[in-house]
Structure 1
Amino acid sequence: MIGTILWAIIGGIVLGVLARLILPGRQNISVLATVVVGILAAFLGGLVATWIGVGKTNGVDWIRHGIQLLFAIVGIYITAQVSTRRGGRSGAAMR
């Protein structure tokens, strides 16, 4: 159980960073928000992968990781949009 949580945190950090690299443009959200979204994406993506039957395969679970990355990309996008609407700095304000 502890190992699963630790791997979700580590994977979440990696997923959050990858999602920010994949998304075009600049996302004005904190590093903490990136990590939290990545961790949530790791958990939710793992659950969805298990529900559809691809959570545990022989070797590397590429489909599960792809689902997790998709969740992270959507989560980062939504977080960035909400942050900008709530008065966060937009790209135009930083110029």
Structure 2
Amino acid sequence: MIGTIISALVVGLIIGALARLVMPGKQDIGILMTIGLGALGSLIGSWATYQLGYHNANGGWEIIPFVVGIAVAAGLIAVYLAVRGRSHHVTH
């Protein structure tokens, strides 16, 4: 159980970091949010890929769900930054 949690956090960090790398500009986002959004992007990306009929017939590393997870995580980070940016720019 603890190994699964640690693995999910490591994958989340990798996916989140790669998502931030492919995004233009500098993102003001902490490591915990990067891990969380990376893990969520990975889960959503993998789920969506398999729902669309992906099957890893050759075995080995499943690159398509990984790449889709990066794209989804980048989208989640962009949405997070947009929502957070709006809340920081509210004038009183």
TM over 0.5: yes
| Residue of structure 2 equivalent to 1:44 | 44
3-state DSSP of counterpart to 1:47: helix
Higher helix share: 2
Q: How many residues align?
A: 88
TM-score under structure 1 length normalisation = 0.78
Structure 1 residues 31 and 7: CA distance shift in structure 2, 3 A: same
Q: Deviations over 1:45-83 (max 9, x none)?
A: 111122122254411111111110110110111111111
Aligned to 1:11: 11
**1:68 equivalent in structure 2:** 69
Q: Which runs of 5+ in 2 are unaligned?
A: none
Report sequence identity in percent: 32
Q: Are the structure 2 counterparts of residues 10 and 43 from structure 1 closer, same or farther at C-alpha, using a change threshold of 3 Å?
A: same
Deviating 4+ runs (over 4 angstroms): 1-6
Closer, same or farther in 2 for the Cα pair 1:53/1:16, shift >3 Å? same
Instruction: Output the amino acid matched with 2:81.
Output: A
Uncovered stretches (5+) of structure 1, i.e. residues with no partner: 89-95
